[in-house]
Structure 1
């Protein structure tokens, strides 16, 4: 039996009651909404002869997360009628089955926030069920596999392996936000994040060893000072009969030398730690950015640019404080607390015990405070990333803002988003300003006890005044580290939140990867074939339907269609920016999924309608895909793209520095530089996606002449709204609604007087009107 998901035992029992046994089921899927939108448990199964629909509620299904269920209004077709409850507490409300020969097709309709499965049975459309988005992927796969069954094809293991089921956290039941990473933000083990952060440190073992040595030396000096200035000075130097009575100068000199030595150790520690910290953060930023470069386009489509910039810059800098100010001082203070406690108990265990009385209360308070701070810092990041995204969006679109006079609107948007961050910061500030003074007051209780009980002990002659002063000094030294340990909760929460977000990027798995043993194709011929290709950016929202065509090496294919017909998607699939849902794309007879990505991308050049130029010189932008190109090659490519003439008129010619996105240039100039970049790359397969869209008629003619020369001898896929640029194409395909509705040469399609003919006519009329206007 093929399964999109495991059928529970109580559902098997319900099906067996209707004489439908597991061995007869070829395909089954679960949905969670009735047609009228009520939560319920619906199972749709396909046997060798029937389509079966079983509806109920309760039992051990995932819907136990909801407080209760309203029964579906469908009429039950049970044997004996009425509803029936099995031993698992699952209550059947309806059962229906239809002969497969009467089921013509199944379709999925996307609604606002749900989907609906519809069956066409005997010429009539019947709504089978609805489902939430968490079930959408499986229901869509069910429809696809049902079509194979209807066509008489046997389902294979590979058919089911392609289905990516959504996974949930086993502890809390929430959907994993990153399906590839399987990490639940709510249940994540903070200790594991901390240990993983520490994994960046062992690369610098020598520096770390020196830092630890400096820490212990520093802690030793700190423990020595109260003893020298207390017990030694008062009881042994200033008290008559003491071991060092009268040697005040020598004692002060020893204290000064110890202070200088401690200061030198501190300077050495600071220099070594600063050097190691910046190197660790350098490695971390490099790893984040490298991980981002490995990820597929779908990763960026789901995230805002400002959020990603926050992770590289702000989160990495937050971790810098972890390595520079947090972890080292945590170790120093921990060693100091242990050392001070040991000395105090050795001097007077009774007095030491009284001093540490408030400690359990401090530990309990910190333990209660930590989860709250973790949530607040997570919320603060969310608000901060939205603010960064808004700023980035507004700055990139500043021309549009100015053109429409919407400065006030943008200020209002910024103020509202900034206010949300402000409210979180105010709440955080109030919490910290309340808790830390409270904890500080608790810690001072120990010093009051020490003064009272210790003074009584001195009066009664049980301890000396020097011992009491030493004890008080140690208490002063103790509360500094203890205060740090209480405030470390704030630091820890912020740093570990940042680390978690960084690891989300590093751990993200790219959708597009090389096959286990990729085929190396350094020198492609350029034969391209699409065979029954289906594709959707989101589950159950198909963009391409059953696309099939072939392009011979060296030939030119023109793709025509309205906006949103799927033209650019075809180009993206050839370049394998995305993978097909079903079907296959081959180049020279090899599936693109099996071709090594470096070879695939090295043989394909793209001139996109979304021209992007990087910050740098014009020469650097032209040579982006071929960094080792000579200036002579750059000149030649620019001339071929008719870009040379306007470039040499710029102040610094080819050395002119242009801003991000090439905003200093016109749209036509940017596009010509993009074409020059593709010409210099000299690919075997060339994709022109609206390559002349931003040019005037005269420039377009010049570019078209250059492109006509460029496409000779190489496979070319040209996408254009201006149909005149495709007249010389060896073949044209016309897309409408993601389907190929016509194909042939320009003359053949004109003769058909179909979709292509109508597009040509409309464009001709528009050009005539433009000519009159001119």
Structure 2
């Protein structure tokens, strides 16, 4: 990962060609539609020259020679041509949008799929709002470019080239006069585009920051924290500050190059007058221009062609600036798409059917460290790319686990006990490969979890964590998230086993009750029991349990314990123990301290050692005895 990030930094702005190539590749699945659009553009470009060229024929051949029949024919052609062009334009517009939206859809799908594959480490290192901004704001920001720019470039280039050729045929000198300053304009446009690109990056970073701030402070948890600590004013000030910064960047982005484009527009408006002066003087004095004479029809035709070329040239100059801004957004999208997936299946990874799993879990000399800022350089901090850093981008924190070894036999309950921050949760996270171990191995039934497919691991392992997460959906949808094909009878049986069925039936809409954002319409104990029912419905062979009962009232705690007891029966269970009853029921107790297993054994054996477990028992667990007895 560190090498990848450093490589991205070294590339800097040299990625332009690669970025453009990758954008072009995104259109490959729609090459037939693109070909049709190009054909339509060429057709409309050719048809667009018909009327300007007919003007000279009308003035010089029809009106000048008094040929009424020829005049009628020319006028009919001038009527028919824009009608045909209009119909082709409608079809072209439909294909443009169809192709563009398909490419946008593909980008969103690829980005979402790639983010789903990232390890838990990425999500703990990156703000949720930043991720959402990349997926919505950045992809949405390139919509206009993806939908219209490619065809607009081709259309404007073909229109400009064909018009220049026609102008040159009418008058080479006037053509050179009209386009003499164009190279200078192109150079200035490139410079303006570079500034626009950098400003666009800063704008999107500010937008991502604002999105993250809204996501954090306007979520249920954020609002609750903000109100209980009385930090509304602080949050408002921070929001207004970032919002003002975004507004300033938006204004700056819109004004970049406006003076330059104003000068271009003025120049294009003045040039026809210069043409009238030069060509008019030639007609009045009967003097040839580069060996040729201009007629009135020629002047009208040339100025018509001239007005036809100014628009595509102006569009191309403006598009170059817009494209530079869009490339900044594409860079941000590709940054995420290029992030390596650090936890993934090996080639020919083992596919293990859940019913064949015995459930033996082994840790063999496992060492693991969290990484500091592993993804932050790519997660909205591109402004730091050009700043020298003394420290490495990815730095190991002190080991969370140090040479950990133990074995849990099939069907056993292993209780993890230890002070806060000892490494208990980390041990539960590396069994299903939410994180990858640095050294050693975690084995299930003798197979290294790195050799087992992630889908198989997911099928054989169920987790009930301290922080219960429910979707803003019905209770039924939250339960069937574990098994989409679960029958009504199985759903009810799981809810009864988790001691939550009766409470669900008391709700107005029963299992169809929408639980609200993160389940906030339910109490903590109710959410926890629904989470337990969800795992029961999944029916995993290995259970990882972080009993979230310490913050609940006694009644809810009893109900959850009643739900947990049948859940653990017959399953290999690795439980972070918060209750004395769980510890006493454990087949083996693993005492964790500073990332190491410092003691192991049964309750009685550990008490006799008179070590850390005995101290924790005396300090924490003895106070639970009265409640445990009353609960029984």
**TM-score using structure 1 length:** 0.74
Inter-partner Cα distance in structure 2 for 1:693 and 1:433:
62
1:370 Cα offset (Å): 2.2
- Cα separation, partners in 2 of 1:659 and 1:455, compared to 1, 3 Å: farther
1:760 Cα offset (Å): 2.3
Choose the corresponding residue for 2:242, options 417, 424, 431. Answer: 417
Q: Report the secondary structure of 2:350's partner residue.
A: coil
Match of 2:560?
A: 703
Match of 1:477?
A: 308
Match of 1:749?
A: 606
Match of 2:195?
A: 372
Match of 1:457?
A: 282
Choose the corresponding residue for 2:178, options 345, 355, 364. Answer: 355
1:748 Cα offset (Å): 1.6
**Is 1:268 the equivalent of 2:99?**
no
Q: Report the secondary structure of 1:533's partner residue.
A: strand
Q: Is the 8 A contact 2:580 2:624 kept in 1?
A: no
Match of 1:685?
A: 542
Matches within 5 A, 1:115-154: none
**Is 1:224 the equivalent of 2:37?**
no
Q: Is the 8 A contact 2:19 2:331 kept in 1?
A: yes
**Is 1:619 the equivalent of 2:619?**
no
Inter-partner Cα distance in structure 2 for 1:769 and 1:369:
75
Choose the corresponding residue for 2:168, options 337, 340, 345. Answer: 345
Unpaired segments ≥5 residues, structure 1? 1-163, 168-175
Match of 1:546?
A: 403
**Is 1:310 the equivalent of 2:133?**
yes
Match of 2:151?
A: 328
Q: Report the secondary structure of 2:585's partner residue.
A: coil
Q: Is the 8 A contact 2:213 2:239 kept in 1?
A: yes
Inter-partner Cα distance in structure 2 for 1:185 and 1:723:
57
Inter-partner Cα distance in structure 2 for 1:611 and 1:422:
38
The more displaced of 562-571 and 520-529 is 520-529
1:246 Cα offset (Å): 6.4
1:694 Cα offset (Å): 4.8
Q: Deviations over 1:465-522 (max 9, x none)?
A: 1101111111111110111111112320222122122122222211111123323322
Inter-partner Cα distance in structure 2 for 1:740 and 1:198:
55
- Cα separation, partners in 2 of 1:694 and 1:651, compared to 1, 3 Å: farther
1:548 Cα offset (Å): 1.3
**Bigger fraction of residues in strand:** 1
Higher relative contact order (CA 8 A, sep 6+): 2
Q: Deviations over 1:104-139 (max 9, x none)?
A: xxxxxxxxxxxxxxxxxxxxxxxxxxxxxxxxxxxx
Inter-partner Cα distance in structure 2 for 1:335 and 1:763:
80
**TM-score using structure 2 length:** 0.90
Q: Deviations over 1:722-752 (max 9, x none)?
A: 3343220101111122122221111222233
Inter-partner Cα distance in structure 2 for 1:705 and 1:553:
22
Q: Is the 8 A contact 1:668 1:695 kept in 2?
A: yes
Inter-partner Cα distance in structure 1 for 2:555 and 2:584:
18
Q: Is the 8 A contact 2:525 2:560 kept in 1?
A: no
**CA RMSD, Structure 1 to Structure 2 (Å):** 2.1
Match of 1:258?
A: 81
1:366 Cα offset (Å): 1.2
1:445 Cα offset (Å): 4.9
Q: Report the secondary structure of 1:612's partner residue.
A: coil
**Bigger fraction of residues in helix:** 2
Choose the corresponding residue for 1:202, options 8, 11, 28. Answer: 28
1:575 Cα offset (Å): 0.9
Match of 2:361?
A: 528
Match of 2:252?
A: 427
Inter-partner Cα distance in structure 2 for 1:576 and 1:651:
40
- Cα separation, partners in 2 of 1:346 and 1:456, compared to 1, 3 Å: same
Match of 2:448?
A: 591
Q: Report the secondary structure of 2:403's partner residue.
A: strand
Inter-partner Cα distance in structure 2 for 1:764 and 1:560:
11
Q: Is the 8 A contact 1:531 1:585 kept in 2?
A: yes
Matches within 5 A, 1:141-290: 166-167=2-3, 178=5, 182=8, 184=10, 186-228=12-54, 230-239=55-64, 241=65, 244-245=67-68, 247-290=70-113
Inter-partner Cα distance in structure 1 for 2:410 and 2:582:
20
- Cα separation, partners in 2 of 1:199 and 1:183, compared to 1, 3 Å: farther
Inter-partner Cα distance in structure 2 for 1:560 and 1:435:
69
1:540 Cα offset (Å): 4.2
Inter-partner Cα distance in structure 1 for 2:436 and 2:8:
22
Q: Report the secondary structure of 1:616's partner residue.
A: coil
Matches within 5 A, 1:382-461: 382-396=205-219, 397-461=222-286
The more displaced of 550-559 and 183-192 is 183-192
Inter-partner Cα distance in structure 1 for 2:555 and 2:515:
25
Q: Report the secondary structure of 1:554's partner residue.
A: coil
Q: Deviations over 1:235-291 (max 9, x none)?
A: 22221x26x446544433321211111111111111222222222222221111111
Inter-partner Cα distance in structure 2 for 1:192 and 1:612:
40
Matches within 5 A, 1:626-641: 626-641=483-498
